[in-house]
Amino acid sequence: MADKQFDVLVIGGGPGGYVAAIRAAQLGFKTACAESNPYADPKGEPRLGGTCLNVGCIPSKALLHTSHLFEEAEHAFPTQGIKLSGKVSIDVPVMIERKNKVVDQLTGGIKGLFKKNKVTFLAGHGSFEGNGAGGYVVKVGAETVEAKHIIIATGSKPRHLPGIPVDNKIVCDNVGALDFDSVPKKLGVIGAGVIGLEMGSVWRRLGSEVTVLEALPDFMSFADVDVAKEALKVFNKQGLNIQTGVTIGETKVSKKGVSLAYTDKDGKEAKFECDRLIVSVGRVPNTDGLNAAAVGLNVSDRGQIVVDGHCRTNLPNVYAVGDVVRGPMLAHKAMEEGVMVAEIIAGQAGHCNMDTVPGVIYTSPEIAWVGKTEQQLKAEGIAYRAGKIPFMANGRALGSGDPTGFVKMLACAQTDRILGVHIIGANASELISEAVVAMEFGAASEDLARICHAHPTLSEVVHEAALAVDKRPLHF
Ligand code: FAD
């Protein structure tokens, strides 16, 4: 007999797991959530919120915000007549402390949400033991727990490179990169993905000389081709030194920094030295110590738990959501899947539309997209019409002193249904929601073109892009 019994046991308390647990409890299930990370709260218990709240989305956005304010104070204030007496400077420990407070508040808040929704929090690592009379038996810390339904939400961990050991002091993954005690003079970033660009931006804004080394030949090949081109132009102008097509060679790490040999895109041997190095070359699904074999759970060669479109694994009543399964590694995708699975367990029609999961890079300008890129439509032979409007043509963007970038809308040539929207510009992360809603409702570009948008707002550029699909923009 297990020590504790539940209807639903969620393993992992990140965005996928904690949201699944709350929704399952709302639906009337006796629910527990097990979490075992090393980020202890003041009571010494693991914090909830997973990668996202502890060492991902939230702390990175807190640092992006502070560094943005710093850059504005340094460069934008004088252009608008705001004078500061003395040189603008950054107190890094204060910035990090503020970031930590935001993390404390949010992670603690989830424990409060668990109480409110009657989810039992189990501090401890979950690993399968086998099958019991009432479901699956899982060891959580020193206790055994039995549950009819299991939701695995064990997330991901940073991928490291052979020969470049991460100590999170000199060579850092996301954990160390969010906790520097000072601004490095020279910072190296391996990997020009979302995390590399965001972290590189934080420290560049604060004064680091940042070099980003990317193995792929094309910059941001995952984004729409026009957006990638504009982003490279803007980031280079900001002073981010981005090199693509690079092969990393021997790396020597000392207490003073890193010396790194690499071959550039033309095959030339080069050397690079920096005080600190961030390794951001992707993340790997986390099934460490889950003991999947004890119950015959299917895990792919890439370490992902194999699931269908509804996050069902090969085992009855066992589901997996978030970074540990296929699809984009994004907190909002994990949360959607968590809700879907809880509702399926309750016999409802849980649903998660992968075609309308937005992607965002919180650089300056921000980059956001949903749906297909222009190159994908070309490759798939889908006929489309495109409308593209720069923020330069928008009064609010000019008034705010931030007119970089554009909105690009792609719509089916036959039906006019919106197939993709790509934004590079201020507040792109917020603007993309309109496109997501439109696409979820199967809207045509004409629908958006005929909707009244408040003036003066940046959303008028989305409106104009919709008008531009039909070649009738009014302000460009
Ligand atoms: P996780 O958040 O990784 O949570 C899994 C949890 O399970 C962890 O707390 C882990 O300790 C726990 N766990 C693992 N195994 C066990 C076990 N056996 N027993 C008990 N507990 C276990 N996404 C966005 O959408 N927007 C962003 O802006 C964004 N920014 C990011 C910035 C950075 C620097 C990083 C690293 C990531 C960012 N992400 C962002 C990605 C986002 O953090 C992840 O997609 C999201 O956290 C995935 O949620 P999850 O619940 O699947 O897994």
Model confidence, pTM: 0.97
d(CA 205, CA 70): 7
Instruction: Look up residue 294 and give its DSSP letter.
Output: G
193 CB within 6 A, ligand 1 = no
Alpha carbon 229 to its chain's center: 21
CA 419 to chain centre: 22
Task: Provide the edge-to-edge strand list for the sheet that holds 171-172.
Answer: 171-172, 276-279, 186-190, 209-213, 241-243
Structural tokens at position 358: 């937005």
What does the pLDDT look like over 452-463, one tens digit per residue? 999 999 999 999
**In the numeric block, which tokens belong to residue 148?**
């009819």
Smallest CA-to-CA distance from 364 within 280, 225, 238, 228 is with 238
Of the candidates 323, 330, 325, 295, the residue with the CA atom closest to the CA atom of residue 308: 325
Q: Which atom of ligand 1 is nearest to the CA of 47?
A: 9
Rounded Cα gap, residues 347 and 324, in angstroms: 24
Burial readout 88-118 (b: 16 or more C-beta within 10 A, e: otherwise): eebebeebbeebeebbeebbbebbeebeeee
| Cα 50 to middle of ligand 1, angstroms | 5
Of the candidates 150, 144, 112, the one whose C-alpha atom is nearest the C-alpha of residue 33 is: 150
Rounded-to-integer distance, Cα 271 and Cα 66, Å: 32
Q: What tokens were used for 35?
A: 């979490």
- List, by residue number, the catalytic residues: 455
Cα 173 from Cα 186, distance rounded (Å):
16
Please indicate whether residue 57, judged by its CB atom, sits closer than 6 Å to ligand 1: yes
Q: Within 13 Å of residue 182, how many CA atoms lie on the same side as its CB?
A: 6
Distance between Cα 232 and ligand 1 center (Å): 28
Pocket test for ligand 1, best of 22, 47, 57 (most atoms within 8 A of CB): 57
Measured by CA distance, the residue closest to atom 12 of ligand 1 is: 12
Task: Name which residue sits closest to atom 50 of ligand 1, judged by CA.
Answer: 155
What span, in angstroms and rounded, lies between the C-alpha atoms of 128 and 341? 20
**DSSP secondary structure of 40-98:** B-TTSSBPSSHHHHHHSHHHHHHHHHHHHHHHIIIIIHHHTT---SS-----HHHHHHH
Residue 316: predicted pLDDT: 97
Report d(CA 132, CA 136) in Å as an integer: 6
Determine the atom of ligand 1 nearest the C-alpha atom of 52: 43
**pLDDT tens digit string along 65-101?**
999 999 999 999 999 999 999 899 999 999 999 999 9
CB of residue 155 inside a 6 A radius of ligand 1:
yes
CB distance 153 to ligand 1 below 6 Å: yes
What separation in Å is there between the alpha carbon of 57 and the centre of ligand 1? 9
Does the Cβ of 125 fall within 6 Å of ligand 1? Answer: yes
Distance 25 CA to ligand 1 centre (A): 21
146 φ/ψ angles, rounded to the nearest 5 degrees:
-115, 135
Q: Looking at residue 30, what is its pLDDT?
A: 98
Residue linked to tokens 């590694």: 329
- Is the shortest distance between the CB of 107 and ligand 1 below 6 Å? no
Low-confidence residues of the chain: pLDDT under 50: none
Instruction: Please report the pLDDT score of residue 47 as a whole number.
Output: 96
**One-letter identity of residue 199:** M
Instruction: Give the Å distance between the CA of 51 and the centre of ligand 1.
Output: 3
What is the residue with the minimal CA distance to atom 40 of ligand 1?
A: 57
What would the pLDDT profile of 179-192 be if each residue is shown by its tens digit?
A: 999 999 999 999 99
> Given the CA of residue 12, which atom of ligand 1 is nearest to it?
7
Contact assessment for residue 49 and residue 57, using Cβ atoms and an 8 Å cutoff: no
Residue 274 phi/psi, 5-degree rounding, is -150, 160
Position 112 scores a pLDDT of 96
Which residues are CB-contacts of 367 (< 8 A; sequence separation ≥ 6)? 223, 227, 231, 360, 361, 423, 424, 428
Q: How many CB atoms lie within 10 A of CB 254?
A: 8
Q: What percent of the chain is predicted at pLDDT more than 70?
A: 100
Nearest-CA residue for ligand 1 atom 41 is 330
Q: Which atom of ligand 1 is nearest to the CA of 155?
A: 53
Question: In angstroms, what is the span from residue 156 Cα to ligand 1's centroid?
Answer: 6
State yes or no: cis peptide before 158, omega within 30 of 0: no
User: What per-residue string of b and e applies to 15-39 under the rule 16 or more CB within 10 Å gives b?
Assistant: bbbbbbbbbbbbbebbbbbbbbbeb
Q: Alpha-carbon Rg of the chain, whole angstroms? A: 24
The type of residue at 18 is Y
Which tokens hold the place of 457?
A: 């707002």
Q: Does the ipTM surpass 0.90?
A: yes
* pLDDT computed for residue 1 by the predictor: 80
